[in-house]
Amino acid sequence: MRERVVIVGGGIGGVAAATLLAEQGVAVTLLEKGKSLGGRAGGWTDLLRDGTLFEMERGTVRFCRFDRNARALLRRVDPALASLAPLDDYPLLGPDTAIGSITKLRAADLLRRASAGRVRDLIKSDLRRASLLLSFDPEDTYRRLDATPARTFLNELRFPPAASAVIQGLVGHATFDAFDRYSAAEMVSLFQYCLGADAAGLELDVLRGPASARLWQPLADYLSERGARVATRCEVLAVERTNGLVVRYRSRGVLQTAGADAMILAADIPSIRKLVAASPDLAVAAPGLRSLEISLPMVTWRVWLDRPVRPERAPFAVTTGLGMLDAIAVHDRLSVPGSRWERERGRCVVELHAYAVAESAGDAAIRGNLMAQLHTLYPETRTARIVEERFLKKRDSPAFLPGTQASRPGVLTADPRIFLAGDFVKLPFPASPIERAASAGFLAANSILAGWGKRTEPLAHGHVRGALASLRRAKQDLFGL
Ligand SMILES: Cc1cc2nc3c(=O)[nH]c(=O)nc-3n(C[C@H](O)[C@H](O)[C@H](O)COP(=O)(O)OP(=O)(O)OC[C@H]3O[C@@H](n4cnc5c(N)ncnc54)[C@H](O)[C@@H]3O)c2cc1C
């Protein structure tokens, strides 16, 4: 009989795991509570007032050039990665800082450019402490910096304000949380991923069409062709492990059960909390699940304006020091769904992102703040009328609070049949959020396959250590220093 694996959650983590397992002939059941796969990177069909159908998403998904495992997953259905369009270059915009072209930026450039060449300003920095930025080491960095909030660490560096603003603008926008709630060690890990010497971490691609058509439906078909059961609208309610593993779920109002030889929990944190509360066995197997926290709310505001923005506006820009605004995308420049339709009507669609919004902030205040920033950045929008809008505010990204690395669960649990995947999981190498989810999915599947003597997939990742950490290690190895 084929070994059976039940996967809870059809986001990138669950789908990555399902893919490796199904390829090796394992009987996979993928249970997803939503209408389709994709989770936070998924999409759905929506209707404009005039009857036009369009694809809505939580936000434009950006694949970084070094998201190796996420790309390996996409290659299953698109071997040449033809559905990825390069964001050739994009700026960092802000009142005090403007970097017109950041994709080729490296750590050393960053400091030079941000201080506008004022060596005097850099000399005032705590260079010894700053060297920690270039010294990411999976053990040492967490030991030294995990308990420190990223904001405190940045202040201690005494960088020129422009340099701090740039670090916050570039690395901060990938954390989805406020810097005073974010571990400095995680910040250094992301810095290594985005700006380390070997990294092309700021080079981004976007999907040429809706994520559902380019990514999720082809992956669902790929899985079905390999014998996997992909079941959407199936919410897992509880997991028991008394007589073997039993997963209880609800499918279109009917309660059902599925037995499994192994399972992978690849849900988002709010759902994991619910599931753990209903499944004491899960908390025993993975006590770290209880301490997972979520980041502050994230807002995506898509606005349809009755006129285009100026032709020179970047398709995508990250911002710093501009109130709540963290990123801005102009859809017709991004070749994303619906953009041609908008251009033909002389309109445009602008997507405004605000990460780590205070919980107390009301929707009207958020809208007001984001629109004011848009008017400052792109003054031609001041007289534009909003003809349609979609405002999404959700709180479901993982938090990486200071001092929580030790309790963060990895892929393995105390039960050799239960595994975890998703962007909340502790990984042995730096990764962006989407890459963390895909890599954790691959790692979970590999662990199961290895246990059953089946072929595993080599996991890809960039340099695990920063340039200075590697030097220090080499010195220790050579001279015992
Ligand atoms: C607006 C936005 C923009 C982003 N941009 C980027 C970016 O540019 N680059 C980047 O690296 N990352 C980005 N991210 C983050 C990235 O999308 C996530 O890291 C990634 O999609 C997480 O995947 P996941 O599989 O871990 O979790 P999820 O996508 O949350 O998937 C979990 C799935 O589990 C399902 N589920 C939950 N509970 C149950 C249950 N009980 N039963 C069955 N199913 C269940 C959920 O419905 C969901 O589909 C962005 C996120 C957002 C919201």
Ligand 1 pocket test, pick from 30, 351, 434, 435 with the greatest ligand atom count within 8 Å of Cβ, gives: 434
Nearest to 176 by CA among 246, 114, 269, 314: 269
For residue 466 and ligand 1, the question of a CB distance below 6 A is answered with: no
Let me know if 99 is exposed, middle or buried by CB neighbors in 10 A (0-12, 13-18, 19+).
Answer: buried
Structure tokens at 132: 């920690």
For residue 12, report the distance from its CA to the centre of ligand 1, in Å: 7
- How much is the pLDDT for 134? 81
For residue 248, report the distance from its CA to the centre of ligand 1, in Å: 22
For residue 41, report the distance from its CA to the centre of ligand 1, in Å: 6
Give per-residue pLDDT as tens, 24-38.
999 999 999 999 999
Distance CA 406, CA 94 (A): 36
For residue 449, report the distance from its CA to the centre of ligand 1, in Å: 24
For residue 31 and ligand 1, the question of a CB distance below 6 A is answered with: yes
For residue 10 and ligand 1, the question of a CB distance below 6 A is answered with: yes
- 479 C-beta neighbours (distance < 10 Å), count: 7
3-class SS string, 120-188: HHHHCCCHHHHHHHHCCCCCHHHHHHCCCEHHHHHHHHCCCHHHHHHHHHHCHHHCCCCHHHCEHHHHH
Torsion of CA 424, 428, 434, 435, to 10 degrees: -160
> Rg of the Cα trace of the chain?
23
- How much is the pLDDT for 481? 45
For residue 12 and ligand 1, the question of a CB distance below 6 A is answered with: yes
Nearest to 270 by CA among 301, 292, 255: 292
For residue 89 and ligand 1, the question of a CB distance below 6 A is answered with: no
H-type helices in 24-130, by residue range? 68-75, 107-114, 119-123, 127-130
- Map residue 358 onto helix, strand or coil: coil
Distance CA 267, CA 7 (A): 9
For residue 275 and ligand 1, the question of a CB distance below 6 A is answered with: yes
Q: Which amino acid is at 151?
A: R
Q: Which residue lies with its CA nearest to atom 5 of ligand 1?
A: 61
Instruction: Give the atom of ligand 1 at the shortest distance from the alpha carbon of 12.
Output: 25
Distance CA 246, CA 261 (A): 9
DSSP element (H, E) containing 85: strand 84-87
For residue 58, report the distance from its CA to the centre of ligand 1, in Å: 10
For residue 41 and ligand 1, the question of a CB distance below 6 A is answered with: yes
For residue 266 and ligand 1, the question of a CB distance below 6 A is answered with: yes
Let me know if 53 is exposed, middle or buried by CB neighbors in 10 A (0-12, 13-18, 19+).
Answer: exposed
- 206 C-beta neighbours (distance < 10 Å), count: 21
Instruction: Give the atom of ligand 1 at the shortest distance from the alpha carbon of 440.
Output: 26
- How much is the pLDDT for 199? 55
For residue 11, report the distance from its CA to the centre of ligand 1, in Å: 5
Residue 396 has what DSSP assignment? -
- How much is the pLDDT for 169? 77
Q: Which residue lies with its CA nearest to atom 37 of ligand 1?
A: 267
- How much is the pLDDT for 340? 62
Q: Which residue lies with its CA nearest to atom 27 of ligand 1?
A: 11
Distance CA 269, CA 272 (A): 5
For residue 69, report the distance from its CA to the centre of ligand 1, in Å: 16
- How much is the pLDDT for 198? 60
DSSP element (H, E) containing 94: none
Sign of CA dihedral 252, 253, 259, 260: positive
For residue 94 and ligand 1, the question of a CB distance below 6 A is answered with: no
**What region, left, alpha or beta, does residue 294 occupy, with left being phi > 0 and alpha being psi -120 to 50 degrees?**
beta
Q: Which amino acid is at 356?
A: A
Low-confidence ranges of the chain (pLDDT < 70): 96-98, 104-126, 197-201, 335-343, 467-481
Distance CA 417, CA 420 (A): 10
For residue 341, report the distance from its CA to the centre of ligand 1, in Å: 28
Distance CA 337, CA 302 (A): 13
Structure tokens at 418: 């239960």
For residue 7 and ligand 1, the question of a CB distance below 6 A is answered with: no
- How much is the pLDDT for 191? 86
For residue 43 and ligand 1, the question of a CB distance below 6 A is answered with: no
Nearest to 424 by CA among 291, 263, 281: 291
Q: Report whether 41 contacts 207 (CB < 8 A).
A: no
Provide φ and ψ at 439, rounded to 5°: -65, -40
For residue 398 and ligand 1, the question of a CB distance below 6 A is answered with: no
For residue 434 and ligand 1, the question of a CB distance below 6 A is answered with: yes
Instruction: Give the atom of ligand 1 at the shortest distance from the alpha carbon of 268.
Output: 30
- How much is the pLDDT for 209? 87
